[in-house]
Structure formats: structure tokens, C-alpha cells
Copies of this chain bind each other. A is one copy, B any other.
Amino acid sequence: MTYCVGLRLNRGLVFMSDTRTNAGIDNVSTFRKMFTYEKPGERSLVMLTAGNLATTQSVISLIEERTKVPEERSPSILEAPTMFQVARIVGQILRDAIKQHSGEGETADTPFSSTMILGGQIAGSPPRLFLIYPEGNFIEAGDETPFFQIGETKYGKPILVRAYDPNMSFEDAIKLLMVSFDSTIKANLSVGLPLDIQTYETDACSLGRHVRIEADNEYYKSVSDGWGAALQNALTNLPDFSFD
């Protein structure tokens, strides 16, 4: 399993992903699920992946081959003129990668499916955030739905729904995401540290800060430990129930 979130703020985009992959509970590994591409000053792109690891690695490899051989005929995400075109390219590569392994040869217990979050900006247009489905089509975040989650989305959703604010600072957004990830990690063994964080500031057109939160990170521990007490306190301050 996996947990990744892409968040649209007024000041830019924030991305966070875990790194745990597993093929059965006795076959657990750490793999990066966050990938960044940029032409500094012209475009910055961030991708988060969930699903079959062979599929997502194949997609990332195909994307990277195309960006490194720009004279190749296939369109590259570093050349496409708009974020919409970038999303179409990624969607097409994803669909082809899944199709290639489905329906012939060995079959697997788990499907070859994969879902991706793509966000970023190309100079001259606003930043955009997409959720790309295994079928290759995609939806875009807007004011009503300002964030996307992929993977194990349920445990960490209530806090995002309640505490998200488009005017948040990057620091506050990261604090919120840490709580959302901590709730998920506490509930699902297949989501785990380290976590990758990437920010993107609107109109910078080059990537913002990248932070990796390791398992012994003091700040993460203080959020994780403090949140239990904070929740109990919040509950205490709600009006009391009475049978009468």
C-alpha cells in the first residue's frame, strides 16, 4: 500500500508521500514514490505514484527516457506546452504500461493498476494539480476539491477535510499533512516512514524545498506524540453528552 497527498494552496503546491512498498507482509521494502522534473525558470513538475511498483517504475523510466532523449519523436513532459498536455502524456504512458502486462502471459494476484498525482507549473500559466487514473484519463483539483489522495486514503482524510485552509503557509500545510500521515501509519502497517515532502511556490517555476522525514525525526515524533493528547483535549472541550 501507499499514502500520497497533493495539496493546492493559494501560495503554491505541497506534496507528501510515504516510501513503504510490500508484496505480502513478509516482503517489505523502501522505494521513493515522489519524482520531480524541472527546467528551472520554465517548468517544475512533481509526480506521486501509488499501486503496482513494477508499473509505476516502468512509467517513470519511460518518462525519464523521453526527457533525456529530447530529439526522440515521442512527446516529452519537459517539452509539452501546457500542464494539460503533460497530464495527457503521463496518462497515456501509464495506460500503455498497464495494458502491456495485462491480459497476456503470467497473471498476478494483485492487479497491475496504478494511480498518480501530477502537479506543477509551466511559466505563463497557473499551477495545476491532477489525479491520473489507470485508464489514462484524469481530473483536476479546484477550489471545491483542493487536494488529492492516493493509496490508503481513508484514515487520513477526516483531518484534511476539517483543517485544510487555502491560505495556509507551507509550514502549516506540512504540519497538517504530518497528522494525516501519522493517523494512516498508525492504522495501516503497509504505510510507513521515511516520508518525502516537496513544496512548490506559485510562479517560482523551479522546485521549492524538499525534506525527507526519517523514522527518527524529532519533529515527526513530537507531532505523533502530541496529537493523541491534542485530540483528547479537543474532545474534552466539546459540549458533554447528557441522557436527559
Contacts and interface: CB of A to CB of B under 8 A. Distances in A.
B171 A241 contact: yes
A179 B240 CA distance: 12
Instruction: Give the residue among A176, A219, A235, A237 with the most B Cβ atoms within 10 A.
Output: A235
Main secondary structure of the interface of A (DSSP, over half): helix
A210 to B, nearest CB: 10
A190 to B, nearest CB: 13
Interface size class of A (residues with CB under 8 A): 35 or more
Return the 8 tightest CB-CB contacts between A and B, nearest first.
A154-B154, A230-B234, A158-B183, A234-B234, A162-B228, A174-B241, A171-B241, A162-B231
Contacts of A154: 154-155, 187
B211 A239 contact: no
A159 B231 contact: yes
Interface string A188-217: 000000000000000000000101000000
Nearest to A235: B163
A237 B230 contact: yes
Nearest to A223: B238
A230 B238 contact: yes
A243 B211 contact: yes
A166 to B, nearest CB: 14
Given A230-B234, A238-B223, A158 B187 contact: yes
Given A158-B155, A158-B183, A187-B158, A219 B231 contact: no
Contacts of A162: 227-228, 231-232
A171 B228 CA distance: 20
A243 B209 contact: yes
A86 B113 CA distance: 44
Nearest to A187: B157
